[in-house]
Amino acid sequence: MILDDLLARRLIFVSGKGGVGKSSVAAALALAARRRGRRVLLAEIDAPRSLGRTLGGVSAGPEEAEVLPGLWLVNLNPSDVMDEYVRHVVKLDWVARRVLESPVYHRFVAFAPGLKELITLGKLMVLQEAHGQRGPGPRWDTIIVDAPATGHGLALLKVPMAASEAVPVGPVGHNARRVLALMRDVTRTTVVIVTVPEEMAVTEAEQFYRLAQDEVRMDVGAVVLNDCHEQLFTPRQEAEVLERLARGEDGPLDGRVRLGPALAAARRQLRREKLTRFYLQRLRRRLPAPLLALPHVFTDELDLADLRRLSDRLEAA
């Protein structure tokens, strides 16, 4: 099963074009892993709207919080992670405070390209290596990273490669090479690319796949086509809808519903079904990665029950 292959890795990055539902897919994947008895950490990176309220009615912060039994959530703000790194390196609190209050430090962090991103990835590496209090095993069996949207997500993944080449010596270069080794280790790390049945989103997913494999040399464990309109009508019903539309039929259908608007909605559904099939075939043909399809959810905002239904579909894939 595809889910078995994904969960064989301990660190899973989830990314995709903005608006494709990557956060919902990351949460559904976390719920599916939790259902299998795994201790799961869902790590958001500077998320403006955290999944904490949906998953457990809490606000996620910089400290790992258990939002459901077996499922922890953390929201990593790169600036805060950078400050935490300074405190860890400097050791002495009063010296660390002086550094963090210094305008020179803030200018350096603001203009050092990729530094905060590298330290954030280093934090994920530390979380991946963390051990539990009850035994020698890891604190979390699976860490799922709700990474930034595609452009920023790819830039995030490329940072340790650029840093390891640009800084050949010293602690920054050493940590960059450790992070890069972890990201390229196919036994520990993989990427899930999320897209929807739309031209721009699918094109961006195809580009992300090639760049992740060719430039960053990371494993792509799966591509998820989210928001799929699945078949609701039989071929006979589809033909009837189109025939009635061609005749311009209208009139009362069921109380407050009229036949004309209902037929127009059915036609939109049929068009979305065809687009879904088209992009499923295209992704299967162009990307040699396992492909998962998740259904369109007929609601403006997903709740925990919706996320659990999506996790059921991941489990069944």
Residue 110 belongs to some domain of the structure: yes
pTM score:
0.89
Residue 99 belongs to some domain of the structure: yes
Residue 271 belongs to some domain of the structure: no
| Tens-place pLDDT, residues 223-244 | 999 999 998 889 899 899 888 8
| Tens-place pLDDT, residues 8-32 | 999 999 999 888 999 999 999 999 9
Residue 292 belongs to some domain of the structure: yes
Residue 278 belongs to some domain of the structure: no
pLDDT band at 135 (very low <50, low <70, confident <90, very high): low
pLDDT band at 202 (very low <50, low <70, confident <90, very high): very high
- C-alpha torsion sign, points 306, 296, 285, 158: negative
CATH assignment at residue 179: 3.40.50.300
Residue 280 belongs to some domain of the structure: no
pLDDT band at 306 (very low <50, low <70, confident <90, very high): very high
Residue 13 belongs to some domain of the structure: yes
Residue 180 belongs to some domain of the structure: yes
Residue 31 burial (CB count, 10 A):
24
Structural domain containing residue 17: 2-229+288-316
User: What's the structural domain count of the chain?
Assistant: 1
pLDDT of residue 133: 65
